[in-house]
Chain A
Amino acid sequence: ILNVEQSPQSLHVQEGDSTNFTCSFPSSNFYALHWYRWETAKSPEALFVMTLNGDEKKKGRISATLNTKEGYSYLYIKGSQPEDSATYLCAPRRGGANNLFFGTGTRLTVIP
């Protein structure tokens, strides 16, 4: 079992604001870091998979960075829209393991 921490637990932002969340995980034996987006009453959907220290990924207005040496990843959303409202989960994968350990997520609400 990995200790995966996500902060904040929840936040509310105004439409158009930019925001970011943090995922912290043990840096030892790191293999990959997954980000998922989970809308209410739906299933989690993959956003990014990151493997290398210093990785940056981008999909539209959402981007993520990875620091494997210190064990954290940031997810950024630029110009938040109401449709960005969801819970954002991170899940690290350790070397030699075939499974992910999910954090409890950051619940984002974008107010129109």
Chain B
Amino acid sequence: NAGVTQTPKFQVLKTGQSMTLQCAQDMNHNSMYWYRQDPGMGLRLIYYSASEGTTDKGEVPNGYNVSRLNKREFSLRLESAAPSQTSVYFCASKASGVADTQYFGPGTRLTVL
């Protein structure tokens, strides 16, 4: 039982390049989330998927797209990376109950030059 996995762990991009961050969970959770973490800003929600086939914008969706490929996988795409997207990205998943907590992946550290 690996929990939530993310690839890659580290990535360096040049401005304008594109890339996809991958996230997978093996806990049969319905909901999945993408956050970014910046110094002094805490965790900010980019996009989330309440269930397979649905996605919704969070606080900071501009410059990102997501795909809920199936129940296990939720990917985050940067179409044209900008230095402002330099951050640590966390994926999380959650079951559906009131008291269910989010389980976080190990994070992807992205630098955009």
A contact set with B: CB distance below 8 Å: 1, 31-32, 34, 42-46, 49, 51, 89, 91, 98-105
**Chain A residues closer than 8 Å to B33, beta-carbon distance:** 99
B104 touches A1 (CB 8 A): no
A43: contacting residue among B45, B90, B101, CB under 8 A: B90
The size bracket of the interface on B is 20 to 34
**Chain A residues closer than 8 Å to B106, beta-carbon distance:** 42-43
Most buried by B among A43, A91, A103: A43
Interchain residue pairs A-B with the least CB separation, the first 3? A46-B101, A43-B104, A104-B42
B43 touches A32 (CB 8 A): no
A43 touches B40 (CB 8 A): no
C-alpha spacing A91/B45, complex, angstroms? 12
A-B residue pair count with CB separations less than 8 angstroms: 49
B contact set with A: CB distance below 8 Å: 31, 33, 35, 40-45, 48, 50, 56, 58-59, 90, 98-107
C-alpha spacing A43/B44, complex, angstroms? 14
**Chain A residues closer than 8 Å to B35, beta-carbon distance:** 102
B45 touches A104 (CB 8 A): no
Q: Which residue of B lies closest to A48 (CB)?
A: B101
